[in-house]
């Protein structure tokens, strides 16, 4: 087995850690949504955390994300582990991350997630 290196052909796949792959997926989604970030008046930060800190007595499903407000800044926290554990394939993961990001931004900006989604229908 060979690992990618400076002399490897471009066809050799690059191995990424799960966290790095997740961060790249989020970055790509946010890049596609960039026109909304510059047009909307509310400042929003997107942060990826591993998992939420929940009290010991928590009995509901683990949240996939939350919105926290700090002054005039809205912070959308995406929880990588709960999101990835609900997905069987990379296509499922991409769709769920899109859904979570769109739902949370729609909540902050008081829009429909469908109005924010730049993907072709």
Domain layout of the chain by residue ranges: 37-51+62-114
Which tokens sit at 45?
A: 């930060």
State yes or no: pLDDT of 9 exceeds 70. Answer: no
Please report the DSSP string for 3-44 in residue order.
---TTS-TTSPPP--HHHHHHHHHHHHHHHTHHHHHHSSSEE
Distance from chain centroid for Cα 93: 9
Q: Are 103 and 111 in contact (CB under 8 A)?
A: no
Residue-wise pLDDT for 27-75, tens only, equals 999 999 998 888 877 789 999 999 999 999 989 999 999 999 988 889 9
């Amino acid at each position: 087995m060979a690992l990618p290196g400076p002399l490897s052909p471009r066809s050799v796949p690059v191995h990424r850690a799960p966290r790095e792959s997740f961060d790249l997926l989020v970055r790509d989604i946010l890049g596609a949504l960039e026109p909304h970030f510059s047009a909307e008046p509310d400042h929003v930060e997107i942060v990826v955390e591993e998992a939420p800190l929940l009290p010991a007595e928590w009995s509901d499903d683990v949240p996939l994300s939350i919105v926290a407000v700090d002054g005039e800044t809205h912070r959308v926290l995406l929880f990588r582990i709960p999101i990835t554990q609900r997905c069987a394939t990379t296509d499922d993961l991409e769709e769920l991350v899109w859904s979570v990001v769109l739902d949370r931004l729609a909540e902050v900006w008081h829009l429909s997630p469908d109005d924010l989604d730049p993907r072709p229908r």
